Every structure is written in C-alpha cells, then in structure tokens.
Amino acid sequence: MSKFYLTTSIYYVNAKPHIGHCYESTVADALSRYHRLKGADVYFLTGTDEHGQKVAKAAAEAGVSTQEFVDSVVKPSIELWKRMSISYDDFIRTTQERHIKVVQAVFTKLHEKGELFESEYKGWYCAPCEAFWPESQLDAGNCPDCKRPVEQITETNWFFRMSKYQDWLIDYIKSHPDFIKPESRKNEILSFLEQPLQDLCISRPRSRLEWGVEIPFSKDHVSYVWFDALLNYISALGYAGGDDAKFKKYWPADIHILGKDIIRFHTVFWPIILHTLGIEPPKTVFAHGHWLDAKGRKMSKSLGNAADPVEMIDRYGPDPLRYFLLSEIPYGHDGLFSEEALVSRLNTDLANDIGNLLNRTLTMIEKYYGGEVPAPANTNDPADAELKALAAGLPAKMDAAMTELDFPSATGAIWELINKANKYIEVQAPWSLDKQGRKDRLADVMYNLSEILRIVTVAVSPFMPASAQKMWEQLGIEGPLSEARASDMGKWGMMKPATQVKKGAPLFPRIDTKAK
C-alpha cells in the first residue's frame, strides 16, 4: 500500500477561521479522501499556529491569558472542521509539548552544527507579518508582502545561516519541477532568489515577546513564530525521538497545501532548514489563490470582508459549500466569492442535475419494480453502449485532474456523466416504455441508471462526503461507502439486481431566489 502524506498550513489563531481557511481545508480533505478511495495509506495533518506577537496582542486586547485565548479560538475551528466533514488524521497545536520538544531539539541540533549565530540586528520589522526586511526589499517603505508600514528596531537575536544555501536551493528547485506548483509560483520564487538571500532571524527577545518556544541555549529569547510553525510538519510525525517509525513511514510530505501569500516561507526557509537537518524536502508545495470580494479585494481577517463559513453552512449546508469552493475556480487562481454564485451552483448542479437524477430514478424504480433494482435484459441498444463508455472513461479523467489538483475538471467529468444520464432518461422515456409494454428495454434503462448512480456516488464522495453517504443509503447498496474504491467506478455491473432502494427526501432542495 502506498503512503500519501498531505498537510494544510497551520492556521493562525489571532481570530476565528474564515472562508480562505475553509477552502484550504476542503481542498486538502477532498484530496485525502480521493487518495483513500484509491487505496493509499493517507496521513492528513492540519492544526493551529498559536505563538507570536499577533496572538499575544489579541489575547491582551481580549483581557485573557494567551493560553486561554488560543484555546477559545481553537475550539470553534475544530467544530467547523467537523461540520465540514474534514477528515484529518492529526490536529497539531504549536503549544503542545510534543511540538515544543521538537522545536527545541532542532534549535539544539542546528546550534551544535554551527548553523546559528548571535548578532545585533538593526533594520525594518513588519509587526503584522512578524518578519524582518532589509531596506532593499521594502516596497515604497512598506512591507513587501502585506504592504503595511514597517518600524525600525535594534536588538540582539539568533540568526540561521540561510544565505550559504542559496545556490543549493536554486539548483534544487530547477532540478525538481514538481517542488513548487503552480508554475507561476515557481517563477516567482526563482525571481526572488535572483537577489542575495539574507540570513534568517529566528528569535525574538523575551523582553519584547514572552509568548513563544524558549530557545534552550538562550533563555532570553523565544523562537520566531515562523521557524516554530514550519516544524509542525515533522513534529506531528514524531521527528527527533517522538516516533521514528512514523516519521520514516510518512516523510517526505507528498504535498503541502497553502495560500500563495506564505509560499516564500515554505519554498525558501523550509527546504533549507530541512536540508541542514539532513532531511529530504517535501515533494510538492502547492499554493492556492485567494477568494476575493465584490471589489476584487482579498478576503481577510484584517480587512473584515471575509465570508463567514459558519453562516454559509447554516444557510445552505456543508456539502453545497464544499462543492462550490472546489468547482468554482481552478486551484491556484484567485476567485470571486459570491453568495449568489453559490446559490446558482446549488440550484443547477446540485438540485437540477444530481439531485434530480437520483430522485427521478428511485421514483421510477419504486413505481415500476416495487423499489427493487431490476436485472438487466441486455437489449444492446446503442444508447446504452454510449452511456457505459462515458462511465468507463470517468476514472481516468478524474485521476488526471486530481493529480494536478484540478478540482473543477474532476467535478466537471462527473457532471458530464450526470448530464448524460439525465438526457438518457429524456430520450429513453421509461414512462413510454412502460406504457408500450417493453419490459426488457425498461429493465435495461432502469438498471443502467441505478448503475450510473452507484458510480456517481463513489465519484462525488471526496467532494461531498455527507451527501454521497445519503445517496449510498438511498440506493440500498450493501457494505459501507468507505470500503468503495476508485477502481469500482470503472467496473460495470456492480449494482446487484433486486437491491431494495430507499428513496428519501431530496438531497438538495432548491433555494427560492425570489424570496431572498
């Protein structure tokens, strides 16, 4: 059995999760579910980044201890992921002892190897990004990442000798074409590396920031939050004495999924840190785009314009939100988040297409066969061969799309089959076959539709797991959906005749847009 280790970034807990976090987690979950469907041994990691200046500041403003504050923010995150059916295998918090021990072990190892040095720093600091910048990289005097003002500070800190690995990193990126995706992000990083790489300041004085991992050989300093945070991907696997077998089994990560605004941390800092530790870098770092508001601005906590996923779930349900996030824009690109577009997807793709196909088919099986799937009579109509051929091609189309994280193409391939099946109903007209007494032909049509629904249910399960489970139950198929495999989609005839269907309420009730 092949392994597949994937991660989200760990989300910063200075405020509750927004639609961007929901998107990233849904992408990771769909990918993990798809690889489980293929039979892989999947390890899906997510979690929370709980140290740093912004968290300490938010706790102070809330009038509670920092630990109380992070606990209060993590709880709704876990509740949201449960509602969204996010099937993570591990949830790491950077305040957990298992993580802190690894951070301190890495500090000690790098210090012993001579990769760290202490020096006075005088330069520009961006508090929102918690990052130092040389004057040459400022953007009109502002932070080059968030474009907000920076402040000049002078303090003694510990530095990581990152600059000496610049040539190694450039060679690594160029010789590993799948390391950074999409291609536009790889070009962005290679362009950044055309300038001399600076050594990385990896500490903060305790006099300025108490909330962080204490550096074991320098009690007056705590770890820079980004140095601490990046190590979660190996601390969760038990690196440095926690669980060597687990680490050896799953590392390197097959894919890190994260937002494009933190690509530099994961494709410059992270691979060099790993390289100095003698650890192979992750196979792929894939950066997604941002969801934008109606004015074309990135949805973010700082701007206060981010759609609230909890409100969207309360109104429309988790699976319609999951489907919209995955199918609306190509992964890696920015996209406009619109509640109107979500409702349109729900009413057309979900209510009209897949919901209608399920409801009509089960209604006719109940009407013509007392709720039992008929045995096919094999009338060999050309229309059947065309439908079966489209179904047979679905696994390859899906796999090609999912390999590239092209979720719209993956869902598009499924909906091509759904739409073909709905058209098949109209052309074959089972109601007319029944009136004409063409029992053999009617049996073939109804069996074919039930088999298409079985295939579609398996195919949509990574994208809409709760709805797929309900479809599976309505189809009356023996055995749990969790035991289905991607290979089952390519096998015709797995729907057993005489299976008793159990039609339920419509899965996706239409939203009355006139009443909104």
pLDDT in tens, 108-118: 999 999 999 99
CA pair distance 95, 67, nearest whole angstrom: 8
Average pLDDT, the chain: 93
Q: What digits encode the pLDDT tens for the residues 36-60?
A: 999 999 999 999 999 988 888 888 8
Neighbours of 353 (CB within 10 A): 18
Q: What's the confidence (pLDDT) of residue 120?
A: 87
Whether residue 137 is predicted with pLDDT greater than 70 in this model: the reply is: yes
Give residue 159's identity as a one-letter amino acid code.
F
pLDDT of 302 over the 70 cut:
no
Over residues 291-303, mean pLDDT: 73
Strands (E), 200-309: 200-201, 203-205, 214-215, 218-223, 255-259, 285-288, 291-292
Task: Specify the pLDDT at position 303.
Answer: 66
Q: Which helix (H) or strand (E) holds 503?
A: none
Q: Hey, how many other C-beta atoms are within 10 angstroms of the C-beta on 127?
A: 16
pLDDT score at 131: 77
CA distances to 4, 16, 299, 411 from 325, in Å: 23, 19, 14, 11
- Mean pLDDT across the stretch 90-116? 97
Tell me the per-residue pLDDT of 355-387, one tens digit each, with 9 for 90 and over: 999 999 999 999 999 999 999 999 989 999 999
Please give the pLDDT value at position 312: 94
Residue 130 has pLDDT above 80, yes or no: no
The letter for the amino acid at 471 is: M
pLDDT of residue 145: 79
Task: Mark 133-151 as b/e (b = at least 16 C-beta within 10 Å).
Answer: beeeeeeeeebbbbeeebe
Lowest mean pLDDT among 78-82, 237-241, 494-498: 237-241
Report pLDDT for 329.
Answer: 86
Provide the pLDDT for residue 306: 72
For the chain, state the CA radius of gyration. 26
Contact between 229 and 270 under an 8 Å Cβ cutoff? The reply is no
Q: Is 35 helix (H, G, I), strand (E, B) or coil?
A: helix
Q: Are strands 116-126 and 131-133 parallel, antiparallel or unpaired?
A: antiparallel
Question: What domains does the chain contain, in order, with CATH numbers?
Answer: 339-490 (1.10.730.10)
What pLDDT was estimated at residue 472? 98
Helices of type H across 282-317: 309-316
If pLDDT is split at 50, 70 and 90, which confidence band does 488 have? very high
pLDDT at residue 516 is higher than 70 = no
Share of the chain above pLDDT 70, in %: 98
**Lookup result for tokens 């074309």:** 296
Q: At residue 317, what are phi and psi to the nearest 5 degrees?
A: 95, 155
Tokens of 489: 């989609």
pLDDT of amino acid 99: 96
Q: How confident is the model at residue 64 (pLDDT cuts 50, 70, 90)?
A: very high
Q: Which residue has the higher pLDDT, 303 or 240?
A: 240
CA separation for the pair 445, 443 (Å, rounded): 6
- How far apart are alpha carbons 495 and 491 in whole angstroms? 10
High-pLDDT (> 90) share of the chain, %: 78
Rounded to whole angstroms, how far apart are CA atoms 500 and 498? 6
Select from 192, 175, 195, 332 the least CA-distant residue to 268. 192
pLDDT tens digits for range 436-473 = 999 999 999 999 999 999 999 999 999 999 999 999 99
Please give the model's pTM, rounded to 2 decimal places. 0.93
Q: For the residues of 201-230, what is the DSSP string, one character each?
A: E-EEETTT--SSPEETTEEEEEE-HHHHHH
CB count within 10 Å of CB 437 equals 8
Q: How confident is the model at residue 391 (pLDDT cuts 50, 70, 90)?
A: very high
Tokens of 23: 């998107």
Q: What confidence tier does 301 reach under pLDDT thresholds 50, 70, 90? A: low
Give the tokens for residue 176.
Answer: 């590993």
Predicted local confidence at residue 101, as pLDDT: 96
Give the model's confidence band at 82: pLDDT under 50 very low, under 70 low, under 90 confident, else very high.
very high
How does pLDDT run across 181-201, given as a tens digit for each residue?
999 999 999 999 999 999 999
Q: Which tokens sit at 63?
A: 């009038």
| Separation between Cα atoms, residue 394 and residue 491, nearest integer Å | 11
Query: Parallel, antiparallel, or unpaired: how do β-strands 11-12 and 291-292 relate?
Result: unpaired
pLDDT above 90: residue 515: no
25 and 8 Cβ atoms separated by less than 8 Å = yes
Which of 451, 454, 452, 478 has its CA nearest to residue 468?
A: 454
Torsion sign across C-alpha atoms 492, 496, 497, 502? negative
